[in-house]
Structure formats: C-alpha cells, structure tokens
Amino acid sequence: MSSPLELPGDDRALSPYTGYTRVHWEAAADSLLRAAWRWATPGSALLDLPGRPSRSGVRSDGLEGYARTFLAAGFRVAGAGGKDPYGWLDRYAAGLDAGTRTPGRDDTESWPLIRDHWVAGQPMVESASVALGLRLTRPWLWDRLEPAVQDRAEEWLRGALRHTPAPNNWYLFPYTVAGFLESVGRGDRQTARARERALELLDSWYLGDGWYTDGEGRAFDHYNGWALHLYPMLDAHLGGDDELSARYGPRLAAHLENFGLFFGGDGAPMHFGRSLTYRFAAGAAVALGAVTGHSPLTPGTSRRVISGALRYFLDRGASGRDGLLSLGWHGPYEPTTQVYSGPSSPYWASKAFVALLAPTDHALWNATEEAAPSEGPDRVVALPGPGLLVHSTQEDGIVRLHNHGSDHVRPHEGEAGISDDPHYARQAYSTRTGPTSAQNLADNHVSVDVDGVFSTRRRIRPLGAGQGDGWGWAASSHRPVFPKGAPLVPGLRVESVTVVRGRYELRVHRVVGAPDGARLWHTGWATGPEEQVTSALRPLHGWDAVDEVRAPQGTAFTRWAVMPRLTAQDAAGTHVYASLATLTGQSDPAPLEEAVSEVTATATGCEVCWAEDGSRTRITFDPLAVEHGEA
C-alpha cells in the first residue's frame, strides 16, 4: 500500500536504501500536520480526531491532538530556522490562547487541568509536548505572545509541577515543563526541584549498557529511547548544557551501540513492549544521537535506520486514506493499543522528527546511506542488564528478541489472578511478527496446564546472558500463575534458557514442582498468509506431540495466524524439555531435523550437538551454566 501523504520522488543516489532525504522528512511532517488540523476546534485549542476515546475522555484526547502534533510542528519549524511556509505556528499560538483562557471548563476550547496521574492525569503527559513545542519555537511563537497569554500558559503548565506523576518516565514531563520555564526566565525553586527529582530517579533506574528500567521493577522497551534518553538529552542540547550532555550523552551512545540492531532490514522496529502505536518514534533516539553527536552509528547508518522506519510505516498504510495515523501498527489493530490510547495517541510518532534539528548541511542528511546493522553479517547481542538476547540474520533481515528480563510488573503488584501482557510476557519477539492477542492462544510461550487452566508468565527473574563468536544465550525463571479462581501451585517454577546460532533457537526449559496430572505445552512463532516467513518448532527432548494451533484474531502483521505447538502429556514432578525453533524469511529453508545431530538430557540439563560443524552446546541447572564449544 502506498502512502497517501504528499512526498517527493525518491533520491536513490543519496539514499540508496530508502530513497528518503531531509526534504522527505519535512514533507512527511507537513502532510501529517495538514491531515490532523482538519479536525481542529474553531479556536484551534483542541484537535478532536475521529475514533474511540481513551479512558481519559474526549477533552483530554483533543488536547493530546494539539500537543503531539505541536511536537512535529516544533521540530519542523525549528529545524528550518523559523521558516514556516504553512503557518503552523500561528495555529498553535491561537490554540494556546484559547485553551488557557478558562482551563477546566466544559466548553469548546478550554484545556483540561493537569492533575495527579491517578485522577485523569493524561494532561500531564501532554504538558511536556506543549512545553517542548514552545521551547523549540520560542523566537517565532512564545516571544511574540501577549504577556497575559504567557502568564496563563505558565499557570497551566505549572500544574505539572504541583501534581504527582506516575512512578516511571512521567517524572520527565514536569522536568521538561520546568526546563522550558527556566529557559524563558520563569524558573524558581519549584522548577529546580522538579528537575532534580527527575534526574535522581533517572539515575536510580539506570542499569548500564544504555538501558534504563521505566520506573522501579523491570520494564524495558521502546520507552528507553523515546522517553528516558530523549527528554534529558534534548533538554541538554537545547539549553547548551555541557555538564548534562557529558552526563547523559555517553549513556545514549551506549544505548545506540546495541539499539541500532533493533530495526529489521525492511525498516521495521522491534515489535515489543507497550505503546507500539507510536511507530516510527522508535527511531527518535537514533536521530537524537546523530543531532547531538552522541552516537556510535555513522550518519549514513543513522539515516538508514530512521528513514527506514518512517518509510516502513508510511508505505504500509499507517496514515490511512485520510492521512491520519491510526491506532495500530501497519493499519488499525486494536490489540496493539492500551486503554490510555486515544485517536491522537499515535502522534507521539512526532518525536522522530527530532531528526530535523540537524540542519541541511549536517552529515545526517548529506552522507550517503549505509546498511543498517541488521543488513550486515549475522549478529548476536546479549544484554545482561535488561535480560534481552537479540540476533539478526543477513539473508532475510529479520531481527529476533528473546525476553528473559522485561515484564512491566511493578514491585508492589502481585502476580496471581492477573492475565499476562502479550507485549511483555512472551519469550520471543521480532521485527516481522507480532504476539497473538490475549484472547487467542499465546505464541512463544510455555504453559503449565492444571485441570484445564493454563498458566501465564508475569514476573520474570533474569538468570544471566552472554555471547560468544556467532552465538549467545539468555536465561530466566518465572513462577507460573493462573487466572483468578484457579488453583495455586506452591513450588511450581519454570526455568528457561535460549541459545541462538544464526536463525536457530535452542529453547530449554526445566519445569520444577509440577503437580500430578499437569500437562505442558510450548508454542513457537505465530505467522500468517500475509507474511513471507516460515515458523517451525522441533521437539528434541521431553515432548510427546507436535501440532499446529490457530490464532483467529491474528497479529499486527497478519489478520489470521497459526503457530506450531509441542505438548507433554505427563509433566508431573521436575523435568527438562528441549526444542529447536526458527523464524526465517528463506524461501526454502532446510528442515530443523537437519540442524541437530544428537541430544542428551537429564533432570539437571542437556547437551546438543550441532550437525553443521559438530560443535556442542551444554546447559546445566543448579547452578545455571551455558557453554558452547567445539566437539
């Protein structure tokens, strides 16, 4: 499907991979803004885009439309040195005036008040986008406002400083508001404390290798780039703060050292974590690294990654026939969204336009595009901090992520009686497949079946990760939990190890303390007729049967999906189960039966001999050890 946006023709000389240049980025921003502004209120304060409302209500959704598109306009105009050929800033100035006259009133234009996160708190999120838009465009918008309008805007924004954020990346919203107020000479003790508190928390959430957890607990996903790195580094860049840049710049560079691999050869970001409807915002950290100079990626590689992500979605119908970004992935897809998502939520994708802060003569726009990391030789990256294992294959450009550490379960939350979250609970994700919905059978999952009730995976306890020459591993354990009302099984535990070589995934599980009568099943990758990929799952030890199961609700990539499944009929006690999985874009892949020549297993581990070269992988439990070497 071609994009309905008004874009110029490809430039394959400068951009041989994507055809996109800086001109394409400006045109994309303008086209997205043009489509969204058709739905503005008469006074321009709210953009009431069509669609189902979020849990915060229609008025908050309208503010979201204003604020998130303001980000795109801010980057667009600031990057052009104030040139505004379509008069975007006049519209945002009028909307700021109208929205702040009587905030909190139920009329056509008034903005909702900013309150605590648990009391219709979404406006706090949007306050950061408003503040950032104003900071980006200060000479051409803020400085030209009447003093009374400036005062009203400040008063509304200060609601973010007076109320409590959610205990995660939300603390960077008052941080951003405070940064803007200080930049226009309106700082005080309140703004200073908001900034100090946010950075204190941010530092406490840093686990190394460029990865933050999104609040206390173990939540690792795209928020690491489009929020936790973006706000402090952009603040430092806009404020010319060398001290902050020196503090957070190396962390951004460390993140991009491995995050560049999170984009497939077709441009798709890793389909993992929440808020995936923000789509090409996944490239924001890559763009910011290029803009600030804190990136290990060459300018040509950086542009390949961010333009690849932008084009991936525009070419696949993300903007729809009316030019509006839909709630979904390619097009609309409800299971990709969360309850806080509304019609304007997808416009956090605007964060990717931070790339436009690189001027026309910047190397980001003038270097010839180079291959993305996933288009080079096969790679394996183990990330012990977040507990992730990532590997790519050059032959098909697919990148796969094995999740042994990210669960999005807060420390104070219990596990039992809560269904799993498909965007975190699965053991594997990729750039070419999505998880099945919560209403269908789970893909890439090990489930204990007790009296016909299937267990879920909630809190994940990482056990380690590592890599060698051409291979890598990650391991974790979890306590299988069951829906509300189902029996609790004391002592029940699943320990999981994934070892990868090329397109092959050796999956070994030790199930401890399964009750009498328990069954076990394990699924592979979910694929469908619209995808040119193959999923296979071969039993190596412990499994009794192989079949194929269906997911009629499909995934974000296909309307209808199937997946391979292994079953163990008598799983009582403690046993080791081994299998070999693959997801490949090869047109005629060799069968999995040819990959492994020998398997030996006991109750404490297993050893696999690889047919290609005779090398062996050994996995033992108690204590956990993973070894790989020559025969």
Taking residues 304-328, report their average pLDDT: 96
Computed from CA positions of residues 101, 105, 109, 113, in that sequence, does the dihedral angle turn out positive or negative? positive
pLDDT digits (tens, 9 = 90+) for 137-150: 999 999 999 999 99
Per-residue confidence band for 631, with pLDDT thresholds at 50, 70 and 90: low
Cα–Cα distance, 383 to 418 (Å, whole number): 28
* Omega prior to 232 cis, within 30 of 0: no
Cα–Cα distance, 186 to 157 (Å, whole number): 12
Residue 2 has pLDDT above 90, yes or no: no
Average pLDDT value for the chain: 96
Residue 488 has pLDDT above 60, yes or no: yes
Give the distance from CA 100 to its chain's centroid: 33
Residue 159 has pLDDT above 90, yes or no: yes
% of the chain surpassing 70 pLDDT: 98
Radius of gyration of the chain (CA): 25
pLDDT digits (tens, 9 = 90+) for 234-243: 999 999 999 9
Taking residues 11-36, report their average pLDDT: 98
List the strands of the sheet with 379-383, edge to edge.
379-383, 388-393, 398-403, 428-430
Query: 500: closest CA among 587, 379, 599, 351?
Result: 379
Q: Give the pLDDT score at 630.
A: 76
Per-residue confidence band for 517, with pLDDT thresholds at 50, 70 and 90: very high
Q: How far is CA 155 from CA 61, 101, 177, 292, 580, in A?
A: 21, 11, 11, 31, 59
% of the chain surpassing 90 pLDDT: 92
Cα–Cα distance, 68 to 129 (Å, whole number): 6
Q: Give the pLDDT score at 77.
A: 98
Classify 379-629 by CATH class.
mainly beta
Q: Give the pLDDT score at 487.
A: 67
Taking residues 163-173, report their average pLDDT: 97
Residue 414 has pLDDT above 80, yes or no: no
pLDDT digits (tens, 9 = 90+) for 346-389: 999 999 999 999 999 999 999 999 999 999 999 999 999 999 99
596 bridge partner residues: 610
Q: Is the pTM of this model over 0.85?
A: yes
Tokens of 301: 């590689």
> Which amino acid, residue 440?
N
Residue 1 has pLDDT above 60, yes or no: no
Tokens of 247: 């503090």
Tokens of 164: 């409590």
Residue 3 has pLDDT above 70, yes or no: no
pLDDT digits (tens, 9 = 90+) for 238-287: 999 999 999 999 999 999 999 999 999 999 999 999 999 999 999 999 99
More confident residue, 4 or 166: 166
Q: Give the pLDDT score at 239.
A: 98
Q: What pairing do the DSSP bridges indicate for beta strands 616-620 and 545-551?
A: unpaired
C-beta neighbour count of 395 within 10 angstroms: 13
More confident residue, 3 or 256: 256
Q: What pairing do the DSSP bridges indicate for beta strands 605-610 and 616-620?
A: antiparallel
Residue 511 has pLDDT above 80, yes or no: yes
Coil, helix or strand for 313?
Answer: helix
pLDDT digits (tens, 9 = 90+) for 196-233: 999 999 999 999 999 999 999 999 999 999 999 999 99
